[in-house]
Amino acid sequence: MLSEFRLPALGADMDDGTILEWHIVPGASVKRGDVVAVVETDKGAIDVEIFMDGIVREIVVAPGTRIPVGTVVALIETEDAAAAPVATLAGESGGEGLTPAAAPAPAEEGRREGGSTAAPSDRLKISPAARRRARALDVDVAALHGTGPGGAITVEDVEQARAAPKPSPTPPPPPPPAGAGEGGGMRDAIAAAMSRSKREIPHYYLSTTVDVTATTEWLTAHNAAVPVTQRLLFAALLVKSIALACRELPGFSGFHREGRYEDSPAVHVGVAVALRGGGLVAPAIMDTADKPLTTLMDDFRALVTRARAGRLRASELAAPTIILTSLGEASVDAVFPIIQPPQVAIVGAGAIAERPWVVDGKVVPRQLLTLSLGADHRVTDGRLGAQFLARIAARLLEPASL
């Protein structure tokens, strides 16, 4: 049967995208999880995977076209009816991202890790800043020769190409998309998602201060004993603790859609990553609860690097079932986090700092961390939220068992 492959939504805050490149041609065969296209969005250039097996019959949308989420971009000949439900991927009018049925699927397959790295390797090396500049200046980056590290195209390369006389007269460049400046489009997207969150979700907030002295000591000793490639960050311990707490207590890791909440069978903890040009993305570390710490840390590192390079995969942006936002590096004591719909909870972490604390009736200096929770009253109450935070803290205090 012929199935429609539509432009997926990449979270609650994406309305449209521009196909930059296709990695497939008519006649090519595709497998679930293959990266088939690169789409420019407010969150950078995203690798979009396909969620069906079959043969490409037709590429419907040409590169360079800006299209709304849900637009049919390619037609795929699939072999059986089993692929039919996923063909409606993100076809929901709300643009709420992948359906629970579709989202966890790619991560269940181990081959995804290795398989999907092949396609992006031949991608143009260009920084997100240079890509934005190229768009603003109407410069064709594919024709440029990069002078940056590893042949990467830099902002300077783009500007020089613009300065050089063009071989033929070109029409005046179209006005740049709204907010094309540094983080502009992304700022609009964040504003839209957070406004919706504050409008629709009755938040409640809780916080608890945890004495993490023993955990930081364990971490220092661990990192001194292992090779540099196996060193861990505190945030990795936190991510794993959250994932395990989600397994123990329902109501925090899942999606609220069309008036109803459902826990997600798989726990994918998203990590909020601040981008240097401004803005924020929160891609998921897939199947967080099942990963040993070193694997989790490897994935976490790769994810942050790709987020900052603007090379995330669509599934990673749509998958988070809960998010961690850690502002420890910004030296704040605590975060009062806003939920990203359709999720129903978000955990915040402030800076770990040495402060006075009472232990056995004496005031002593300890390493303290304030954890916070923003959660959805449509699903849980403060009492359950308190238990959830307590379970995260309990896990965090047993780092060797993570």
Partner 1 sequence: MNREELARRILELVTEIAPDVDAATVIPGIDFRDQFDFDSMDTLNFAIALHRELGVEVPEADYAKLASLDKCVGYLSPRLN
Task: Name the minimum Å distance from CB 43 to partner 1.
Answer: 13
Which CB sits closer to partner 1, 234 or 255? 234
- Position 301 contacts partner 1 (CB under 8 A): yes
- Position 122 contacts partner 1 (CB under 8 A): no
65-104 footprint of partner 1 as x/- string (CB under 8 A): ----------------------------------------
Task: Name the minimum Å distance from CB 309 to partner 1.
Answer: 4
Number of residues that bind partner 1 (CB under 8 A): 32
Q: Which stretch binds partner 1 (CB under 8 A): 45-53, 150-158, 355-363, 380-388?
A: 150-158
The full DSSP string for 269-328 is EEE-EE-TTS-EE--EETTGGGS-HHHHHHHHHHHHHHHHHT--BHHHHH--SEEEEE-G
- Position 277 contacts partner 1 (CB under 8 A): yes
- Position 187 contacts partner 1 (CB under 8 A): no
**Nearest CA among 120, 123, 125 for reference residue 34:** 120
- Position 121 contacts partner 1 (CB under 8 A): no
- Position 137 contacts partner 1 (CB under 8 A): no
- Position 128 contacts partner 1 (CB under 8 A): yes
- Position 57 contacts partner 1 (CB under 8 A): no
Which CB sits closer to partner 1, 25 or 225? 225
The full DSSP string for 151-216 is GPBPHHHHHHHHHSPPSS--PPPPPPPTT-STTHHHHHHHHHHHHHHHHH--EEEEEEEEE-HHHH
Q: Which stretch binds partner 1 (CB under 8 A): 53-61, 142-150, 362-370, 371-379?
A: 142-150
Which CB sits closer to partner 1, 331 or 401? 331
Render the burial of 94-109: b for 16+ CB within 10 Å, e for the rest. Answer: ebbbbbbebbbbbbee
Tokens found for residue 44 = 């950078």
Select the residue interacting with partner 1 from 154, 197, 241, 380 (CB under 8 A).
154
The full DSSP string for 93-141 is TT---S-TTTTTHHHH-THHHHHTTTGGGGS--B-HHHHHHHHHHT--G
| DSSP state letter for 60 | -
| DSSP state letter for 11 | S
- Position 178 contacts partner 1 (CB under 8 A): no
Chain residues 198-257 in contact with partner 1, contact rule CB under 8 A: 220, 223-224, 227-229, 231, 233-235
By CB neighbour count within 10 A (0-12 exposed, 13-18 middle, 19+ buried), where does 111 fall?
A: exposed
Q: Helices 382-396 & 234-248, crossing angle to 10 degrees?
A: 130
- Position 304 contacts partner 1 (CB under 8 A): yes
Chain residues 314-333 in contact with partner 1, contact rule CB under 8 A: 329
Select the residue interacting with partner 1 from 256, 268, 291, 308 (CB under 8 A).
308
Are 370 and 334 contacting, i.e. CB atoms less than 8 angstroms apart?
yes
CA pseudo-torsion sign 219, 220, 221, 227: positive
Q: Which stretch binds partner 1 (CB under 8 A): 87-95, 122-130, 340-348, 388-396?
A: 122-130
- Rounded CA separation 257/79 (Å): 31
Instruction: State the residue for tokens 């005031």.
Output: 363
Which CB sits closer to partner 1, 218 or 234? 234
Task: Name the minimum Å distance from CB 324 to partner 1.
Answer: 13
Binding site for partner 1 (CB under 8 A): 127-129, 148-150, 152, 154-156, 220, 223-224, 227-229, 231, 233-235, 274-277, 300-301, 304-305, 308-310, 329
